[in-house]
Structure formats: C-alpha cells, structure tokens
Structure 1
Amino acid sequence: MLLEFSKDQLQIVIARYSENIEWLKAFNRFAIVYNKGETIVDGAVVLPNIGREGHTYLTHIVRNYYDLPEYTVFLQGSPFFHMKEGADCAKLADIINESLTKKVPFKGFAWFRLRCDRLGRPHQMSDPASKGKWSGWGKDIPVGEVYEKLFNRTPPEQFIASAATGLFMVRKDRILTRSLEFYKTALSIIEADPCDEHNTGHAFERLWQVIFNGSKAINP
C-alpha cells in the first residue's frame, strides 16, 4: 500500500478530460474523479467541460466545504509530466506521505516555480506550436485582474507561483481560511469565461498559493 492514511486524513481529487487514469488504481480508495470528457469513467462525477481544472477544483471545494478531510490533493488526469523527471505513483506517494506526516500546509508538485507580473508575463501563450489548442492563445494571463476580483484589493506587481501546473495538496485549515462565499465567487469568475477565452483558468494556476496561503488579512 502506497499511502497509510484514512479517508478522514486524505482525499485525491482528479480533474480528467481524456487522460488515461489507469495509474490512479494505486490510490483508488482515496480518489474522486471528475470527468469532463466524452469517455465514460466508472464512478466518476460528470462535469461540463468548462474552466479547465480550476473549475473542477473549486466545484469540489464548494460541494464539500463542510466535509473536507485533513488534506486534499488536487491533480490533473496526467500529473507526472509536470513533476520531476522519473516521477511515478511511488514518487507521488512519497511526496504525499512526507507532506502529510510533516503537516506541510501547502505543497506544489511541479518541478518548477514561476515568477510573473500581473499579466502573467513571461509566459508561452503565444507559442506557435500551441496555436489553436485553446481559445486564449496569443493573449496575456489576467493574474492581477483575477486577484483583484477575488480579494478586492490592488494586486502585487509580481507573483511567485508554486503550483503553476495545477498540481498541489493543501491542508483543511488553509482551505477554510476563506469562506464558502469566497469559493463560490471564485467559481463564478471561472464560469464567466467557460472556454477560457480570456485565460482565466490559467490565471488561477498562478494564484493557488495565494488562495491557500492562510492569510486572513487578505480576505475580501
């Protein structure tokens, strides 16, 4: 067994579209899959295909705000690509085990961190190889604008994103630092840009560490 915890201690939330999630069998007793693709996944919760993984994560929090485990792990359907070279189920389990044992409040799983300005720069949204893959191609990322909508305050000039790929785990108290209404507002911001035409979902990827930083002082 890769993880030695109870369901009261840990839950793994998977945002899936079309990825092969056979790897998830190693974590089945902890996992809930939200499926946005056309392929049927047994036991999965079906969601409309909008808002990237941020829509999935926020939907989960809103629906389960009063019934969260000690830790929640949020993952895309194919997480290992953005982790350190050679990452697999065993290494993912090692990170989760260590973080939970040490009671780390927030942990991003990507092998890198990003520093960006209010427009998400530098970014690769105009990469010719990605043209046509999403509606917001060629546009900036509204990190500062989304921050201001979330917290009703002037955004900082720079952000350091430690969970830029939408792969992270967070402790319950960090989630509950923000109210249920906060997460409903966050979800409505994403739902207002369902096809991510304005890169709202990408902005959330650069704001998770702020949303879950535990600071009540920035609550709106």
Structure 2
Amino acid sequence: MKIVAVVFGALAASTGVAFKIHAPSPTYEELLQAHREWQAESARAHHEVTAKMKKRALRSRLPALQRPVEMVIARFNEDIDWAVEWLERNATMTVYDKGKSFKTSKNTSVRQTRLPNVDFGRETHTYLLHIINNYDRLAEWTLFTQGSPEVHSNASFDEALARVDFTSRLQCLTCQYLPGKPDYGCLNGPIRTYGISPETFQVVRPTEWSDPGVDHFMSLHGMDIGVDPHMIAPHFFKSVGLPPKNGTLDFCYGAIMLVHRSRILQHPREVWLKMWKYLMMPKVNGDAPALDCRALKCKGRHFGGYVFERLWFSILGER
C-alpha cells in the first residue's frame, strides 16, 4: 500500500489531479473486535466512576415522592441500597436480577425475579419483559433503571429523582454518558434529553458529539438484520408497527426514565410483543418467541439493546 501511495502521490504532483485511495470496508469480525475494545474501555471507565462514589445513605433532607412510583431495576451485580432508601419515600421496588444474589442493608421486602444473564440488551430485555407481563396491571408511574444510575447522572441521581415533575409523563433522569463527557443538565438546572441523528444515532443536541462505539454497533446491527445502518430507525419503526419519526430524536443515556403508564398503554400489547421479537430474533417474522428465554434458548440480536436505548423516547413519546 505504501508503494501505491507513493505512485499516486507522484501522479497527483505531476498532473495536478487529486487521487483518493479507498481503504476496504472493515469486515464484521474487525468491527466486532473494535466494538469489544470499546466496550472494555467503557466498562473500565464505568468501574472507575463507581469506585470513586462513596457508599452513602440517601440525604435525609430529600422529600418523599409526590406520587407512588414502582422502581423497576435491571440489576446485574450492582449495590442497590440506594433504591431501598426510596421505599420510605413513596416507592416500591421490583428487581430483575441477572447477577449474584443480593441482600439489602435493611430488612425490607423487595420483589425479586431471577433472569438468565443474556448477553444482549440487558435493560431492554428487562423493561420489555416487565411491560409485557404486567401490561394490564402497570403502576401509574414506573421508574425504569439500571442497577447503578449514578454513572450517568454525575452522582446526583437521588436529587434528580427527588425533583421529578409529575406533570410530565416521560422524563429522563440521566444527563451524561460519563463524567468528563458532555453533560446536559447535571449541575445547572433540570435534566433535558439529548438529541440524536436518526441516521447515525450520534448526539447532535445540545452540541455534536461523536462516539465511535455508536458507529460500531450501528454497522454490526445493520449487518445482522441486512439493513443499511442509516436506515435502522425507519426499519425498526416499520418492523414493530409504529409510524416513523422525523427529525432529531430525543435520547436518554442508559434508558433511565420515569414513565406514566399512559405512555406505555398508547401501544397495544401486540406492538410490545413485536418489539420483543425485534430484540430476540434477527428478523421480525413468524410467531413471537416465548417470554421465558431459558425455555426457548433464544439468541437475541447482540446489538439490538443499543438500538432500543437510542429509541426509547421515540417509542414512549406522544403520538
């Protein structure tokens, strides 16, 4: 390649014509390796953040929630004592546990469901399972969260939850990817949703910020389902039977959000089953896979969870 570059460089110098040498597109295996390296780096950064966070009790000055809230937690091995503290502040707690068994620091009743540790769409798998299985008995307000939401909220998650506005039926409770990355409301006012491009899923609001990991999973997911990466969003909406969304899409890091049940019930249960199929199958066709992943031994799309994270606010937004 060096010799070719020298030859074309000489031609360009002598003729004044610019030549472009196009490198071959990366293979699926090369993209997958790059994505794994990005995941490892991201995991290290998450670990560093959580390690710096002091184990702390909820600040006593924080008030009780103005409305009852069910906290649906997608847990792996995180310490969730932070959530237990909210049981005294008008919240109930349902934990979907995919890690080691846990004990809370307080003697309290917590609804717990053991799930297999599927290696795709961790919180998406949990959220969809909860919605489908509880469709006719959803709490009026549900907080959907990962086990350690502080990573995405500058260690101020308790404060963010304490000041939620129950007049808004869909609210993001995170404000950043990681400390040191662009944030949107962590320290200066209410948390606001980011905006992402529907073609690239990269952040374009409040300022443009490109994450190479997003390019990786978009390309890999596109290859998995046979769709141009820039067409993943319209393909998703068509596949699950929802109208397309135009323009910049609202986005919430980590899909940690407070949702009124009306935003969930605006879609029939059949639509939520189609979303389950989208996550659990390479193509949305045939019968819906069983909700018990162990019985089906299902193999979901490894990158579908990333797609859902980017699209939750489009799914749950007003139609």
Contact 1:117–1:159 (8 Å) recurs in 2: yes
Q: CA, structure 1 residues 152+18, in 2 after alignment: closer, same or farther (shift >3 Å)?
A: same
Aligned amino acid, residue 128 of structure 2 = L
2:186 corresponds to 1:82 = no
Q: 1:40 aligns with which of 91, 101, 104?
A: 101
Q: CA, structure 1 residues 4+125, in 2 after alignment: closer, same or farther (shift >3 Å)?
A: closer
Give 5+ residue unaligned stretches, structure 1: 216-220
CA distance in structure 1 between the partners assigned to 2:75 and 2:138 by the alignment: 21
CA distance in structure 1 between the partners assigned to 2:234 and 2:157 by the alignment: 34
Displacement, 1:120? 2.3
Partner of 2:304: 200
Partner of 1:161: 250
Partner of 1:120: 201
**1:148-191 deviations in Å (ceiling 9; x for gaps):** 312355x4564423323211111111111000111111112112
Q: 2:81 aligns with which of 22, 33, 37?
A: 22
| 3-state SS of paired residue (2:102) | coil
Flag the structure with larger Rg: 2
| TM-score, length-scaled by structure 1 | 0.77
Q: 1:10 aligns with which of 69, 83, 94?
A: 69
Contact 1:34–1:45 (8 Å) recurs in 2: yes
CA distance in structure 2 between the partners assigned to 1:67 and 1:157 by the alignment: 32
**1:76-118 deviations in Å (ceiling 9; x for gaps):** 00001111x34142x133133xx22xx2111011214141233
2:244 corresponds to 1:183 = no
CA distance in structure 1 between the partners assigned to 2:195 and 2:211 by the alignment: 9
Partner of 2:317: 213
Aligned amino acid, residue 160 of structure 1 = L
User: What is the aligned-residue identity percentage?
Assistant: 24
CA distance in structure 2 between the partners assigned to 1:57 and 1:24 by the alignment: 17
Partner of 2:3: none
Aligned amino acid, residue 40 of structure 1 = S
Aligned amino acid, residue 87 of structure 1 = S
2:239 corresponds to 1:149 = yes
Q: CA, structure 1 residues 157+171, in 2 after alignment: closer, same or farther (shift >3 Å)?
A: closer
Q: Which has the higher contact order (CA 8 A, sep 6+)?
A: 1
Report the structure, 1 or 2, having the larger helix content: 2
Contact 1:110–1:162 (8 Å) recurs in 2: no
| 3-state SS of paired residue (1:48) | coil
Contact 2:65–2:162 (8 Å) recurs in 1: no
Partner of 1:106: 170
CA distance in structure 1 between the partners assigned to 2:137 and 2:300 by the alignment: 30
Q: What is the alpha-carbon root mean square deviation over aligned residues? A: 2.7
| TM-score, length-scaled by structure 2 | 0.55
CA distance in structure 2 between the partners assigned to 1:173 and 1:157 by the alignment: 22
| 3-state SS of paired residue (1:214) | coil
